[in-house]
Amino acid sequence: MTDHRAKCWAELPSLVAAVQNAGNTIGLPFIAAQADLGDPEPMADQGGRPYAETSFRWIDPDYAYWRDRKLALQIAFLTAARLVAEPFFYSDGRLRTWRSTELLDAVDCEQARNTPNFGEAIIAPVHLPRGLVGAVFWCSREPVGVEALFASHAGDLHNLALKLVATHNEARGRPRNATVPQTLTRREVQCLRWAAAGKTDGEIGIILTLSVSTVRFHLRNAAAKLGATGRAQSIQIAAGLGFVGARAA
């Protein structure tokens, strides 16, 4: 392990404590956290012990939710954390944030409504480069006026969540094999953007007035610079690094 990763592990206990203390202070003391929603393993300390067992409390002390490998695909809060990058809150069967968004309105919160002794919650998603998404949840067993708490504390909670998730992923060396990419050329980015839009090499060549071999040359160069193997991974990494946006070139 590198000295850098060892330093990150050393910083994590104080960050975990800060997350718990923040929840205790505002009346949302029940906490769940996951540094990578795509990882079926629970978020754990350097010795592999889940924070849900050693540090964070949950509403139902007898429910070991972190052992359910399918949970990340079923929980509405995790679905919402993948859809928006800003903090949001749960109250009275609905998810809301500081702005109006149809994405949160469309998330089905029936499971939360039907969970015994579940009151309200603030959720802070953490979206990191290369498609890595984590989240921290602060919850209560009864209504606590979460809308007002959100207005006062959401920014600080989101900052804490970012520090915890980013530091934990850095300590674990995630994402694996991540390197600082070389600078992409304008042509490489253009080819990637059109590839992300579903265009074939021939179609990209027509759009950019390039030969098919030249398009493939630029895509191969981009893949090498991004540390990708294949077209799909090139597009994924480029999107996670902000080279490919929501609109094609």
- The pLDDT value recorded for residue 194 is 95
Q: What mean pLDDT comes out for the span 228-235?
A: 87
How much is the pTM?
A: 0.81
**What pLDDT, in 10s, does the model give residues 100-111?**
999 999 999 988
* Bond from prior residue into 116 cis (ω within 30 degrees of 0): no
| C-alpha to C-alpha distances, 104 to 28, 93, 112, nearest whole angstrom | 21, 12, 14
Pick the CATH number of 186-240 from 3.40.630.30, 1.10.10.920, 1.10.10.10, 3.40.190.10: 1.10.10.10
- For domain 3-172, the CATH architecture is 2-Layer Sandwich (3.30)
Token pair 């070389």 is found at 182
**77 neighbors 83 (Cβ within 8 angstroms):** no
**What pLDDT, in 10s, does the model give residues 14-73?**
999 999 999 999 999 999 999 998 888 889 999 999 999 999 999 888 888 777 766 655
**66 neighbors 52 (Cβ within 8 angstroms):** yes
CA dihedral sign of residues 73, 74, 78, 84:
positive
- The pLDDT value recorded for residue 1 is 63
Residue 160's contacts (CB-CB under 8 Å, 6 or more residues apart) are: 15, 18, 19, 22, 124, 136
**What pLDDT, in 10s, does the model give residues 159-200?**
999 999 999 999 998 766 556 667 899 999 999 999 999 999
* pLDDT surpassing 60 at residue 85: yes
- The pLDDT value recorded for residue 63 is 82
Distance CA 76, CA 61 (A): 21
The structural domains of the chain, with segments of one domain joined by +, span 3-172, 186-240
Beta strands in the chain (DSSP E): 30-34, 88-91, 94-96, 121-128, 132-139
